[in-house]
Amino acid sequence: MTWWLLFAAAVLVFAVWGWRRTSSPQAFFAASRSVGPLLAGLGGTAAGLSAFVFVGGPGYFAAVGAASLWIILSAPLTGALQCWAVGERVVSLVRSHGCLTVPDLVASRFGEGWPRGLTALAVAVGAIATLAVQVKGAAIVGEVLLGTPGWMVAWAAVAATVVYSAAGGMRTGILAEAAQGLVMAAAAIALAVFALARAGGPRQAIATIAELRPELLDPWGGPGPTAAIGLFLLFALGTCAQPHYLQKFLLLRDRASLRWLPLVMTGALLAVLTVWVGVGLGGTALWLRGDLELQSPDQLAPVLLASTGSRTFVVIAAVAVVAAVMSTAASLLNLVSAAFTRDLPRALGLSPSSNLLAARLATVGAGIAAAGLALASDRPVALLGVLGWGTFTAALLPVMVVGLGWKRASRQGAIAALTVGPLVQLAAEWGRSAGTLALRWEPGLLGAAVGALALVVLSLGHGTNTREEACG
């Protein structure tokens, strides 16, 4: 009880600190553009990784083995890839047009109305699905690790994040995310070392799996090589379309901050991803040996921790995972808030209020909606995570990479890409669930591919008719 009270007090103090320093939309949505590469890199990594990596990743390794690693094999590339493909361009648009949000970027290139509105809609829907992953992850951790009802831990994590995000927006959000990123990295390395040591070391873990389930060491296992390469490409290119990643470029204080950003991002990313490989490998070996009993692969990490018998260790690990959950939630809450209070009104021709009350209330509403969705959904954590990532990729990849980079890209092309991409992705998701579409068709990539085709073909047909506008 004492710990809960201390946690609540710390959150309140932090929220009050943020509230007093956040009085403008630029401070709330873009942390006053004051962030350097260290904060942006740690915060961006923490925002991008959380329940999916800690709970879904090791569980996915237990389910399909080395084939699961295609999701994270792009990790060495993604920091530089984001800067090369979109980051430099986004920083230029921030300087020339004063953009604060991802829909601002699209509107600055393709004009107001539909481009901004569709982007905001995609951000809001994908962010609430991704927020639901965080809530579900917190619920699993609470139930299995802490022995408390899952919904209680989920609501506590969401409520704390909502409080400081509603008070200080990204000004508090980026600080919390960076600190949580450090906690995640330290905890991930500790958990990986622990799991591998418990399994007798990496060599022994590999030998155990090779003896009992050798197919788990096949990099092309599961749905096959074409599907594996699809996952690799989805999680490499997809980083250029995740609004909670793109958002970090909007917070940077200057262009020079880009130089070392990939190094910080890659270092933090790899540190956290050790949990996927270490706990996946060690935990799977323990499971195959019969030392762990799982009811579903998602339970691998929590059950492994619970099996230590050390309450302190379990609580520390649970706090780290909940912190990871909260880090992603803060960015997503801010994105949803911006979509509903700034971008959708502007798309409809209304003037967004410079008063932050609406943005703060929208942050609270987004938290409640995501918690409700997560607790009502039966989809596993990994699947919810891929759905959110895929929606962002299908909707935003064509406009962010091709649209912002190609001068002849037209407004009609952008609107078509923003519409067709997510529709194709959702149809493909449904087709795969129903068994009518082969598993190698990755819905997010398929949506992005069709969206890119629509963008190029319509732009060639209409010629150049983009409308450069300031974001205001």
Q: How many CA atoms lie within 13 A of 96 on its CB side?
A: 11
Cβ closer to another protein: 218 or 291?
218
What are the structure tokens assigned to 277, written together? 């490989």
Q: How far is the CB of 120 from another protein (least distance, A)?
A: 24
Query: Tokens 């935003």 correspond to what residue?
Result: 396
Distance of alpha carbon 250 from alpha carbon 184, whole angstroms: 24
- Evaluate whether 154 touches 374 at the Cβ level (below 8 Å): yes
- Evaluate whether 164 touches 11 at the Cβ level (below 8 Å): yes
Residue type (1 letter), 222: G
Cβ closer to another protein: 357 or 439?
439
Q: How far is the CB of 187 from another protein (least distance, A)?
A: 20
Among 77, 58, 76, which residue's Cα sits nearest to residue 68? 58
Residue type (1 letter), 201: G
Rg (CA), the chain: 21
Question: How far are the Cα atoms of 33, 45, 140, 182, 250 from residue 185, in angstroms, in the given order?
Answer: 26, 10, 20, 5, 24
Q: How far is the CB of 456 from another protein (least distance, A)?
A: 5
Cβ closer to another protein: 46 or 374?
46
Q: How far is the CB of 225 from another protein (least distance, A)?
A: 4
Binding footprint of another protein on the chain (CB under 8 A): 65-66, 69, 73, 75-77, 79-81, 83-85, 88-89, 206, 210, 214, 217-220, 224-226, 229-230, 232-233, 236-237, 240, 255-256, 258-260, 262-263, 265-267, 270, 277, 401-402, 405-408, 438, 440-442, 445-446, 449, 452-453, 456, 459-460
- Evaluate whether 394 touches 443 at the Cβ level (below 8 Å): yes
Cβ closer to another protein: 238 or 388?
238
Q: How far is the CB of 424 from another protein (least distance, A)?
A: 11
Q: How far is the CB of 220 from another protein (least distance, A)?
A: 6
Q: How far is the CB of 270 from another protein (least distance, A)?
A: 6
Q: How far is the CB of 284 from another protein (least distance, A)?
A: 12
Q: How far is the CB of 412 from another protein (least distance, A)?
A: 15
Distance of alpha carbon 162 from alpha carbon 330, whole angstroms: 7
Q: How far is the CB of 432 from another protein (least distance, A)?
A: 12
Cβ closer to another protein: 347 or 402?
402
Cβ closer to another protein: 88 or 112?
88
Distance of alpha carbon 120 from alpha carbon 364, whole angstroms: 18
Distance of alpha carbon 385 from alpha carbon 126, whole angstroms: 10
The number of angstroms, rounded, from the C-alpha of 252 to the middle of its chain's C-alpha atoms is 19
Cβ closer to another protein: 35 or 153?
35
Cβ closer to another protein: 229 or 369?
229
Q: How far is the CB of 254 from another protein (least distance, A)?
A: 9
- Evaluate whether 448 touches 398 at the Cβ level (below 8 Å): yes
Cβ closer to another protein: 406 or 430?
406
Distance of alpha carbon 316 from alpha carbon 9, whole angstroms: 19
Cβ closer to another protein: 233 or 294?
233
Cβ closer to another protein: 7 or 84?
84
Q: How far is the CB of 447 from another protein (least distance, A)?
A: 12
Cβ closer to another protein: 174 or 240?
240
